[in-house]
Copies of this chain bind each other. A is one copy, B any other.
Amino acid sequence: MTGEAPDETVRAVEATLFAAEEPMSVEALAGLLGGLESALVRQALDELQGHYSRRGTRLVERSKRWHFETAPDLAHLLRREREQVRRLSRAATEVLAIIAYHEPVSRAEIESIRGVQTAKGTLDVLMEAGWIKLAGRREVPGRPVIYATTPEFLDHFGLSSRRDLPGIDELRAAGLLDPVDEAFEAFQGEDDEGDEASEADGDEEKDDFSAEEPA
């Protein structure tokens, strides 16, 4: 099972490359191993490369320097992506809606429309989702950054263009402009304050929408 024991030079090269902080040349290895002949080192490297060719790590040479690295087919083990599906928070949804209806808009404009401050994290989340993008700067004092929606936004919401978004009259007809009750407003205030923290720490969002039945 353990195979034949490798000879001392092979073991020494193996250990040296394992412990090395950067790739090493044949000469450097030979020097380190007490002035070994380069040919012997090369032979050891060949043997090691063969040995490791089917294992979880392999010995590779890049621009004449040797190092161990994880086998490419196992690279997915080292960089794992854990995907989690999360519903957009209420604050983020509002910001997204405002951007969609008013684009391009600056953060100050978003805030003046929403009537509450918008945490930086909220815009970050929307950028991360790929739904908004920076769309240059507004040529006014301070040159604020302005935001606009992306094609991914239209895709995700099944819109062929922004004109598909219902207008104000349609919203009113659907009862969506009816004043919200005070209890909800209070809740809303809390939500905005806690916004940054909850988005940053990545906790599951409370699904704000489920609290409200569509009229």
Contact = CB atoms under 8 A, between A and B. Distances in A.
Interface of A: 1-3, 5-6, 10-16, 18-19, 32-34, 47, 50-51, 53-57, 68, 70-71, 74, 77-78, 80-81
A74 B12 contact: yes
A79 to B, nearest CB: 10
A77 to B, nearest CB: 5
Contact of A57 (B2, B15, B51, B53): B15
* Total identical chains: 2
A56 B2 contact: no
18 contacts: A1-B47, A2-B51, A5-B54, A6-B54, A6-B55, A6-B56, A12-B77, A14-B55, A15-B56, A15-B74, A15-B78, A16-B56, A16-B74, A16-B77, A18-B56, A18-B70, A19-B77, A32-B77
B2 A50 contact: yes
Contacts of A11: 55-56, 71, 74
A12 to B, nearest CB: 5
Contacts of A15: 56-57, 70-71, 74, 77-78
A6 to B, nearest CB: 6
A11 B68 CA distance: 14
Contacts of A16: 56, 74, 77-78
A158 to B, nearest CB: 15
A14 B77 CA distance: 11
Given A56-B13, A56-B15, A33 B77 contact: yes
A70 B51 CA distance: 17
Contact of A18 (B1, B19, B68): B68
Contacts of A13: 56
A118 B57 CA distance: 47
- Choose among A3, A10, A53 the residue with the greatest number of B CB atoms under 10 Å from its CB: A3
Contacts of A33: 77
- Choose among A13, A16, A19, A78 the residue with the greatest number of B CB atoms under 10 Å from its CB: A19
Contacts of A55: 5-6, 11, 14
